[in-house]
Structure 1
Amino acid sequence: MTNKPLFADIILPVPLPRLFTYAVPDELLHLTSIGKRVVIPFGKKKVYSGIVYQLHHHKPEEYETKDIISVLDEEPVVNAYQLKFWNWLADYYQCTLGEVYKAALPSGLKMESETRIIYNTDFVAESPLSEKENKVLDIIAGKKVCSINDVNQLSGLKNSLPVIKRLLEYNAVFINEHLKESYKAKKEKVISLHPKCQSEEALQQIFDKLERAPKQQELLMTLLSLVGGLTGAITNQSVVKAELLKKANASAAALKELCNKEILLEQERSIDRLDLDEKAVEVANALSEVQQIAYDEIKAGFENHDVTLLHGVTSGGKTEIYIHLIEEQLKQGKQVLYLLPEIALTTQITSRLQKHFGNKMGIYHSKFADAERVEVWSNLLQQKNYQLIVGVRSSIFLPFANLGLIIVDEEHENTYKQFDPAPRYHARDAAVVLAKSFGAKTLLGTATPSIESYYNAQQGKYALVELSQRFEGIEMPEIVAVDVREAKRKKQMSSHFTPVLLEKIDKALKNDEQVILFQNRRGFSPFIECGQCAYVAKCVNCDVSMTYHKHLNQLVCHYCNHSMQLPTVCPACHSPAIETRGFGTEKIEEEMSLLYPDHKVARMDLDTTRSKSGYDKLIKKFEDGEVHILIGTQMISKGLDFDNVSVVGILNADNMLNYPDFRAFERSYQLMTQVSGRAGRKRKQGLVVLQTSNPKHPVIMDVINHNFINHYSGQLEERQMFKYPPFYRLIYITVKHKDQRVCNKASHLLAEQLRVIFGSRVLGPQAPVINRIQNLFIKKILIKMEKKASPAKVKHLMREAIFSLQAQQEFRYVNFQIDVDPA
């Protein structure tokens, strides 16, 4: 009796709502298993690497199966927990498994025919390459950058992926993201005793010969002492070249001479990019009485709930509580995921956690080179030493095997929401589901809970722990609202600063204290305007005004990055009366530097922190007192802890309050409270100056009075009345097309079809505030769905409506995006 043929369902990185079935050839039967990457042909010419989702014996009836070309892995790179989690993400956030796969895996683990391969000019082979490897490497070296398709055609190989995978492992080539970052394989030169000299007799002869070269003799003696004598030398012990030269106080020429004489051997070895050396770790500090009560309440909450919300005031000492909870999990051999909303935050918190957890802690975020992310992935997959991962939202995709706890710090932050591309997931909500699949617990920590999380706690779905005192009894900052309209009327404003703010800054700087100024808009000026005809420079690709960046002397679109030189005359009326309007962080930085020339001013925004170490350098300078005034966007609001900040200025509170979004008041309250929390954190009560045209606004009054409950109650009432979360689930469908007529027609037809299914729950279509981005016109349809509705059923009905439209020739190229729980 013959064995039935085996088939594999493969997840491919394509936005098609299905898996693809391939036949497993006999020679790959023993290698193919769930979670491994396989190379498959797709379409006429394309080659992809995909993940084996399941194996079975059912041949598809609707198409002829192709064979898997090769298996890339010895062990699975994705585990069963991940595949289950991917399924939930695809169902809930209404996307495909392929889109989840694309988001989940680091680029170094994804390969397809269009993948760009980059030659590593510093590559030196440690052992001879095979004929195929040499052939492929020569092709890539010749072209410098080429695609897998190019390699296949030029090499004559049917499939070059396995060869390229080996070259990747040797660090001979890089893929994709290394075009963005000039990454070099981390290597070091080491010196050892040449194999010819590894005997007592040989060494004796060498020392005799070197009597006339004392420098070389001393160098050889130093090497032997560093490797532990002849015994160490015989076992090929080596010393880092730079260290040897320093210890022997010798020149590189003397070392080169010994290598030429085949007495010493110089080699290169790869260094692990991850710092996995054992480190001395500190014992966690004892908790204060207030912290201990909160810690005990969290533990009690976990006994009956999967999720606990820790509502703790800014500077309440939440991180210390987290450290104790992590320590407990690690002692039990469990893994912990510590989620942060922003890369900027990882700098301070990781240095603090490193002291306690040493090399058990790994860091994972997008500013790391892709090779580093692959190494973190592999470390977890092989369950080596990482037990604690600190990272941003993408960390939820890592291959955990034994999660015990997920901490979501600053859970209210909208940066936990992924906007583009799909899956448009919210890391906080996804973390709760991920933890549940392991039987683990989730701790949400924040000083300003999101309305949804606090509602869940009030309803008993989450446990609630309140930490209402600042650490060591420090007082909450005093918040003063200053009326900008009144100051302007009295002609008291100095540019964008009220007399009250300048007076407080003066006083702080005289006392050697630091100042933070918050303006949630980067650039020099939000737009330029002609004083004669009121012309405003707009982006050619987007329906939005361009922001002026003075250091570039350019107008830049923050939606598509299109840039142009600042015009000297108005393009409309040719008047030279071009003026900047409004103000961004760059303009504040310039004006502060003029007002306080003897003090160092710096800004923290997307423009100044693009590099991997941009945040670290800026934060360190501010911590060390080298910077006196720090100007920033919302980056500075997120949990940063500075000892010497006594004054915080919020320059334009009205900007946030007037944004057309149902979360505008919630966001404004959170941002203002969080920014205020940076003041007076260690030694004394801080001061916050809040500049506004409406000091009596309910949100501003709640911020001044530190009254979260009043703010929450007001918001909840409105949300219930107008059918918004937490009472309803929102789903946005965004319709995009380069032709406005087609976009309008498609969105109206889709809305009509959806109204037949969902009735009055469907609102729109409506043009958003910015209705054209990157030359695509945009329309939005909003669906307000009851919480109890099945996400899978809703997804199925919506997808069917969209597919029926896309089946029509006219709407074939219309782009439909579904966003569940938009932030």
Structure 2
Amino acid sequence: MNAERTRIEVAVAFAVYQTYTYVVPEEMQPLVRPGKRVLVPFGSRQITGYVIGFPAGDPEVEDLKPVSDILDDTPIFPEEMIPFFRWVADYYIHPIGDVICDALPGGINPAEYATYERPEFIDGELAAGDDRLGPLEKRIVAVLEQGPARAAAISKKLDADVTHSTLQKLERQGWIHKKKQLHHARTRHKTRRYAVLSRNPSHPSTWENLSEPKIRILEHLSENGETAVDRLKQIVPTAANHVRDLCGKGLLAVTEKPVYRDPFGEAVEPDTPPKLTGEQQRVINEVAGAMNEGFAAFLLAGVTGSGKTEVYMQLAAAAIEKGRTVLVLVPEIALISEIERRFRARFGECVAVLHSGLSAGERFDQWMRIARGQSPIAIGARSAIFAPFARPGLLIVDEEHDTSYKQEGRLHYNARDLAVVRAKQADGVALLGSATPSIQSVNNVASGKFRELNLTRRIHKQSLPEVHIEDLRNHKDVRGTGRFITATLHRAVKETLARGEQVLLFLNRRGFASYPVCASCGAPQKCRHCDITLTLHKKANIYKCHMCGYFRAAVSACDTCGAKSIKQLGLGTEKLEAAVQEMFPEARTARMDKDTTSRKGALIKILKDLRNGEIDILVGTQMVAKGHDFPNITLVGIICADLSLSFPDFRAGEMTFQVLAQVSGRAGRGTSPGRVILQTYNPEHFSIVSAQQQDFMRFYKEESRFRKALKYPPYARMVQIKLAGKQKESVTGHAQELGRLCQQLTRGENERCRQVQVLGPIEAPLARIAGRHRWQILLKAPTAAALQQFVRRLMAENPAAFSGREVHTAVDVDPFFMM
């Protein structure tokens, strides 16, 4: 027996903060390794766990439960990632098992679930006549006559809320039985069946009694060797049946081999590195030189069109030459196809991609390619920060300012910040690039945490676009499309099209009409489940909620008075596209937003058509503002620059400046000069003026003054406690009680806890989403350590406040979404 491997430390995929120790049966000990998944007993259940180490100390195993099974032949993540997982769990105050589960490709863990069935000796009439059962309980027993069902299925069939306590009561009384089943993983290796002649095949002279199709299969295998069974179907359509018979006769052997699911589209032509500008070469020399010196973090501030992507590729080549791996993060899936195409043209098939747009199987295959060391370069959106590299040497975060790097799911992490952490743990280099760096990153430069690099000129020495501000207050009395496509913008579009150049019109709001109101009573048409108005999507002929996805037919009557006359107020990209098509009927117009790019391949087609000159005017949301390079776009029209300025969020000015500067940077990247028409109701606002002048430092100095005065990040640290539940009174009471506990903790003896400022509790700006009422508490402190200690103590002393069934309570460290 290997004493070191008799016990393992396991992080279970469950909402518990500690890890557990299990004993390893002797026959499994040679197979157990950190990074593998195991099936372990947990209470009365069997759940997935992750081996993260071997406990030190006395190998006493009498009181420990044994591992049920080892699920992997090879580790699914490298042992070197375990300190990273521990850091993430500690900093974001999240169960480590859930951290690992969220990091891995979805659908790979087996799951245990319960089904309910009716015993054979129980019939519906017996239950119906028993006065001890209530009406719902009798219906539950009756519906199980159709066969076993899970709790959710019973609720759906009865159209009623069937609670677990009701099912447990029926089980105790003997009316129903609960049966536990292990459901295998949905995602696994894809395999392909191959046929080959057996090692001792009979002589062809003995094939006489075989049918002609069988003989043709044997002859093909004799001449060509091992062949996939689905390929044999091209020779004999019924090959599968014949192969089975031939195997039974001992003439063939069939094996299964893993098949790689290729997520890439069309092949790309190899490229050659272009000649670098002096600025690019200086940046590459400094970063490449730091690769031999251990950890370093750089902020690359480069104007739009300055060649940051080429810098990334040259540095990736330098890292690979040194035997290190490379991770490239981009903020959205929309950008991955562009940067992936350029990296594949330079590095070939050694590039892997990781993002939620892949199928579960494709993502699993890409993950395993990285884990096996077959892909030294990985490109992906925020979830790719967990790519299974042992010691990544270069971590690149493109458009580092983008809020899309913040995950708003169960684990509230920021991939940009984690890239710096991974680089530090691996003695690697983190390179954060942007034309409009975040206030946080610029402050890290000022404090000496990051080193600053600059690209101040476009690669072909083009000038930055001229930005003209159009004051929409001067058009308030205009009717029709002139309210949002001013005469200045209309004239500029007409002139641009006449020169054979392309136009980009930006409006960060999708749909046709964003504020439908009843013409009779004036009531806005709201979502049934959220405190937000519905948006008309004219092409789909529905009203849709952009928060929860609820929709109803566009011919629906007013919820308040029943009238059918609805005024379609407000503006979205669909209405803008329709107006543009009416104004410029000869122009080829396309729209790029979430609605038009949801189908697989749709986004790539739009980008390809734009690149090939088959689109004259592109209408889009912020998807068009990030990272795309289209040399023939010479005019950018910003329809309304003020949409994000009114958000109840201290970052509203920063987000507005960044998106305006980014979308302006799409103009004039080719040989022709660019021009931007920026329409706004707030032409004097410093965010608008700074975007017009493309002067980040002016914006930074002004914004920093406000942040320092109000003690907002990066000059303080924040944690947001989010509360949500279906019953408004329960959520309100829970929030107020938790707020009282927070205030009580600030008055205690602990020095760090007294540093914390409690804001709230208060109802969230969006007070109801998806039928759940929402409250929030903001905690501010000078240091992250003070907040960490405060929240941990709050959770330890009041565990019931964070584990209630009626009210869900979540902790968001360094929050972004304040709505």
Question: Normalized against structure 2, the TM-score is what?
Answer: 0.82
Look up the equivalent residue of 1:110 and give its one-letter code: N
Residues 114 and 180 of structure 2 are in contact (CA less than 8 Å); yes or no, is this contact kept in structure 1?
no
Deviations, residues 690-720 of structure 1 (Å, cap 9, x unaligned) = 1111222221111111111110000111111
Alpha-carbon distance in structure 2 between the residues aligned to 1:821 and 1:774: 24
Residues 195 and 226 of structure 2 are in contact (CA less than 8 Å); yes or no, is this contact kept in structure 1?
no
Which residue of the partner structure matches residue 97 of structure 2?
A: 98
Look up the equivalent residue of 2:439 and give its one-letter code: I
Which residue of the partner structure matches residue 403 of structure 1?
A: 392
Alpha-carbon distance in structure 2 between the residues aligned to 1:427 and 1:442: 12
Which residue of the partner structure matches residue 774 of structure 1?
A: 770
Q: How does 1:470-489 map to 2 (within 5 A)?
A: 470-489=458-477
Q: How does 1:509-588 map to 2 (within 5 A)?
A: 509-588=497-576
Which residue of the partner structure matches residue 345 of structure 1?
A: 335
Alpha-carbon distance in structure 2 between the residues aligned to 1:25 and 1:114: 25
Matched, 1:365 2:378: no
Which residue of the partner structure matches residue 17 of structure 2?
A: 17
Q: How does 1:741-760 map to 2 (within 5 A)?
A: 741-758=729-746, 759=754
Q: Cα offset for 1:382?
A: 1.8
Could you say what secondary structure the match of 1:21 adopts?
strand
User: For residues 409 and 58 of structure 1, do their structure 2 counterparts lie closer, same or farther at Cα, with a shift above 3 Å needed?
Assistant: same
Which residue of the partner structure matches residue 805 of structure 1?
A: 801
Residues 112 and 181 of structure 2 are in contact (CA less than 8 Å); yes or no, is this contact kept in structure 1?
no
Which residue of the partner structure matches residue 501 of structure 1?
A: 489
Which residue of the partner structure matches residue 424 of structure 1?
A: 412
Q: Equivalent of 1:389, from 365, 369, 378?
A: 378
Alpha-carbon distance in structure 1 between the residues aligned to 2:74 and 2:431: 33
Q: Cα offset for 1:35?
A: 2.0
Residues 743 and 778 of structure 1 are in contact (CA less than 8 Å); yes or no, is this contact kept in structure 2?
yes
Alpha-carbon distance in structure 2 between the residues aligned to 1:436 and 1:729: 21
Alpha-carbon distance in structure 2 between the residues aligned to 1:570 and 1:190: 62
Q: Cα offset for 1:477?
A: 0.7
Alpha-carbon distance in structure 1 between the residues aligned to 2:807 and 2:179: 38
Which residue of the partner structure matches residue 608 of structure 2?
A: 620
Deviations, residues 513-545 of structure 1 (Å, cap 9, x unaligned) = 111111111111112101332111111111111
Alpha-carbon distance in structure 2 between the residues aligned to 1:160 and 1:805: 32
Residues 7 and 59 of structure 1 are in contact (CA less than 8 Å); yes or no, is this contact kept in structure 2?
no
Q: Equivalent of 1:635, from 623, 642, 649?
A: 623
Could you say what secondary structure the match of 2:597 adopts?
coil
Residues 734 and 781 of structure 1 are in contact (CA less than 8 Å); yes or no, is this contact kept in structure 2?
yes
Q: Cα offset for 1:74?
A: 2.4
Which residue of the partner structure matches residue 126 of structure 1?
A: none
Q: Cα offset for 1:814?
A: 1.9
User: For residues 577 and 81 of structure 1, do their structure 2 counterparts lie closer, same or farther at Cα, with a shift above 3 Å needed?
Assistant: same
Deviations, residues 387-433 of structure 1 (Å, cap 9, x unaligned) = 00011111111211131100000000000000112x10000001100
Which residue of the partner structure matches residue 288 of structure 1?
A: 277
Could you say what secondary structure the match of 1:11 adopts?
strand
Alpha-carbon distance in structure 1 between the residues aligned to 2:278 and 2:66: 65
Residues 480 and 689 of structure 1 are in contact (CA less than 8 Å); yes or no, is this contact kept in structure 2?
yes
Which residue of the partner structure matches residue 354 of structure 1?
A: 344
Look up the equivalent residue of 2:510 and give its one-letter code: R
Look up the equivalent residue of 1:562 and give its one-letter code: Y
Residue segments in structure 1 that go unaligned for 5+ positions in a row: 117-142, 151-155, 172-184, 211-216, 246-250
Residues 288 and 318 of structure 2 are in contact (CA less than 8 Å); yes or no, is this contact kept in structure 1?
no
Look up the equivalent residue of 1:356 and give its one-letter code: R
Alpha-carbon distance in structure 1 between the residues aligned to 2:85 and 2:300: 28
Which residue of the partner structure matches residue 808 of structure 2?
A: 815
Alpha-carbon distance in structure 2 between the residues aligned to 1:146 and 1:403: 44
Residues 47 and 112 of structure 2 are in contact (CA less than 8 Å); yes or no, is this contact kept in structure 1?
yes
Which residue of the partner structure matches residue 137 of structure 1?
A: none
Look up the equivalent residue of 2:30 and give its one-letter code: H
Which residue of the partner structure matches residue 180 of structure 1?
A: none
Alpha-carbon distance in structure 2 between the residues aligned to 1:97 and 1:260: 47
Could you say what secondary structure the match of 1:590 adopts?
helix
User: For residues 202 and 359 of structure 1, do their structure 2 counterparts lie closer, same or farther at Cα, with a shift above 3 Å needed?
Assistant: farther
Alpha-carbon distance in structure 2 between the residues aligned to 1:501 and 1:197: 79
Deviations, residues 788-810 of structure 1 (Å, cap 9, x unaligned) = 52565344223225415358xxx
Could you say what secondary structure the match of 2:568 adopts?
strand
Matched, 1:598 2:591: no
Which residue of the partner structure matches residue 81 of structure 1?
A: 80
Q: Equivalent of 1:335, from 297, 307, 325?
A: 325
Q: Cα offset for 1:679?
A: 0.8
Look up the equivalent residue of 1:56 and give its one-letter code: P
Which residue of the partner structure matches residue 638 of structure 2?
A: 650
Task: Give the number of aligned pairs.
Answer: 746
RMSD over equivalenced CA pairs, Å: 4.1
Which residue of the partner structure matches residue 761 of structure 1?
A: 757
Look up the equivalent residue of 1:635 and give its one-letter code: M
Q: Equivalent of 1:315, from 289, 305, 313?
A: 305
Could you say what secondary structure the match of 2:482 adopts?
coil
User: For residues 772 and 68 of structure 1, do their structure 2 counterparts lie closer, same or farther at Cα, with a shift above 3 Å needed?
Assistant: same
User: For residues 609 and 559 of structure 1, do their structure 2 counterparts lie closer, same or farther at Cα, with a shift above 3 Å needed?
Assistant: same
Alpha-carbon distance in structure 2 between the residues aligned to 1:775 and 1:803: 25
Q: Cα offset for 1:567?
A: 4.4
User: For residues 76 and 450 of structure 1, do their structure 2 counterparts lie closer, same or farther at Cα, with a shift above 3 Å needed?
Assistant: same
Could you say what secondary structure the match of 2:17 adopts?
coil
Which residue of the partner structure matches residue 32 of structure 1?
A: 32
Residues 508 and 647 of structure 1 are in contact (CA less than 8 Å); yes or no, is this contact kept in structure 2?
yes
Alpha-carbon distance in structure 2 between the residues aligned to 1:282 and 1:202: 56
Could you say what secondary structure the match of 2:378 adopts?
strand
User: For residues 197 and 424 of structure 1, do their structure 2 counterparts lie closer, same or farther at Cα, with a shift above 3 Å needed?
Assistant: same
Residue segments in structure 2 that go unaligned for 5+ positions in a row: 116-146, 155-177, 747-753
More deviation in 312-321 or 99-108?
99-108
Deviations, residues 747-796 of structure 1 (Å, cap 9, x unaligned) = 12212222232346111111121111122211111011212525653442
User: For residues 603 and 62 of structure 1, do their structure 2 counterparts lie closer, same or farther at Cα, with a shift above 3 Å needed?
Assistant: farther
User: For residues 298 and 52 of structure 1, do their structure 2 counterparts lie closer, same or farther at Cα, with a shift above 3 Å needed?
Assistant: closer
Identity %: 32
Alpha-carbon distance in structure 2 between the residues aligned to 1:260 and 1:732: 61
